[in-house]
Amino acid sequence: MNYLDFEKPLSEIEGKAEELRALARTTSGMDVSKEAEALDRKAETALRDLYKNLTAWQKCQVARHPDRPHCKDYIDGLFTEYTTLAGDRAFADDHSVMGGLARFNDRPVMVIGHEKGNDTKSRIERNFGMARPEGYRKAIRLMDLADRFRLPVITLVDTPGAYPGKGAEERGQAEAIARSTEKCLSLGVPLISVVIGEGGSGGAVAFATANRVAMLEHSIYSVISPEGCASILWKDAEKMREAAEALRLTAQDLAKLGIIDKIVPEPVGGAQRAPKDAIEAVGKAIESLLGELSGKSRAELLADRRRKYLEMGSKGLAA
């Protein structure tokens, strides 16, 4: 278990319980179950208390937690017959974006998402979830395919942002993001997006311009990283806590601002503590959001999405 800095009190309690049990295993006739269970209960309370009122910055840390389930875990857990489709047909296959045909509750769909990887090797291969132009162009191609065969599109968003590289710029990073957003807005099929970790700026918008957008309880979605914002506006990257607060990047704030449609509850202690439960909860959310859109015609789905974005920010804002 990787502990975050604010989880230190918890790590101490859990560490003690672990030590106690280890001691009992090597010492015959020693019964520590009562003490260990008491510590477990204490840890549980501490965990609950910690996660009840996470600050915006703490949520950023949880959203980026290395043990959090990633796109691949959700695809494995929620879809059957997943069949990867690769490449942008122009330059390369971007491994930071995965996608393909799959069945969700037996229904054929197109699923696309950012994948960060979960160890050094896969993280490098996935470029830490930072897409290059080819990633967006692959997504555009898959969305187009889904549209022609009337398959709903489900996107899973988890990216620090677009990759700031020389080649990425030369090959039209900005154009690729703009076209992907445009494609999202042109689909005549349901488009549902779930922010499962980090929704990093334009790289997230390119996938998440959807009929319905859900966010996991401790995920974030922001115009800029708190560190980046702090270094520009506070002239000090260490002011990321203040920046995270000011940016209103939590699921709870974004629901209030009318930017997202649904918050998916996470297990106590975050998705990283019980990935299976988190994956199941996301599945339920996708099912219910797809249900909301069932029976809508192509024209209605297009108009629904367009209206949503045109009206965004014009109502429901408490000044």
Partner 1 sequence: MNWITNYVRPKINSLFSRREVPENLWTKCPECGTMLFHRELAANLNVCSACDHHMTMGARERMMSLFDGGIFSEIKVPDPVVDPLGFRDQKKYSDRMKAAQKASGAKDAMLVAEGEIARTPVVAAVQDFSFMAGSMGMYVGNAIIAAAEHAVKTKKPLVLFSASGGARMQEGMLSLMQMPRTTVAVQLLKEAGLPYIMVLTHPTTGGVTASYAMLGDIQIAEPNAQIGFAGARVIEQTIREKLPEGFQRAEYLLDHGMLDRVVHRKNLREELATMIRMLMSLPPPIKGDLAPPPPPPEPEVLPTPAESEG
Contact residues toward partner 1 (CB under 8 A) are 162-166, 168-175, 177-179, 181-182, 184-186, 201-202, 205-206, 209, 221-224, 228-229, 232-235, 242-243, 246-249, 254, 257, 259, 306, 309-310, 312-314, 317, 319
Ramachandran angles phi, psi of 88, nearest 5°:
-105, 0
Between 64 and 183, CB nearer to partner 1: 183
Least distance between partner 1 and beta carbon 245 (Å): 10
Least distance between partner 1 and beta carbon 208 (Å): 9
Placement of tokens 């997202």 in the chain: 260
Identity of residue 103: R
Between 30 and 232, CB nearer to partner 1: 232
- With CA atoms as reference, report the closest residue to 154 among 220, 101, 76, 95: 101
DSSP E strands: which ranges in 41-173? 80-84, 97-104, 107-114, 153-159
For residue 214, list its beta bridge partners. Answer: 194, 262
Within 10 angstroms of residue 213's Cβ, the number of other Cβ atoms is 25
Q: Work out the burial of residue 22: count CB atoms within 10 Å of its CB; fewer than 13 is exposed, 13-18 middle, 19 or more buried.
A: exposed
Least distance between partner 1 and beta carbon 297 (Å): 17
The answer to whether the beta carbons of residues 81 and 63 sit under 8 Å apart is no
Between 39 and 187, CB nearer to partner 1: 187
Task: Rounding to the nearest 10 degrees, give the CA dihedral for residues 227, 228, 230, 232.
Answer: 160
Between 17 and 56, CB nearer to partner 1: 56
Between 295 and 319, CB nearer to partner 1: 319
Least distance between partner 1 and beta carbon 78 (Å): 26
Within 10 angstroms of residue 25's Cβ, the number of other Cβ atoms is 10
Least distance between partner 1 and beta carbon 168 (Å): 8
Between 73 and 88, CB nearer to partner 1: 88
Least distance between partner 1 and beta carbon 243 (Å): 8
Q: Work out the burial of residue 274: count CB atoms within 10 Å of its CB; fewer than 13 is exposed, 13-18 middle, 19 or more buried.
A: middle
Identity of residue 77: G
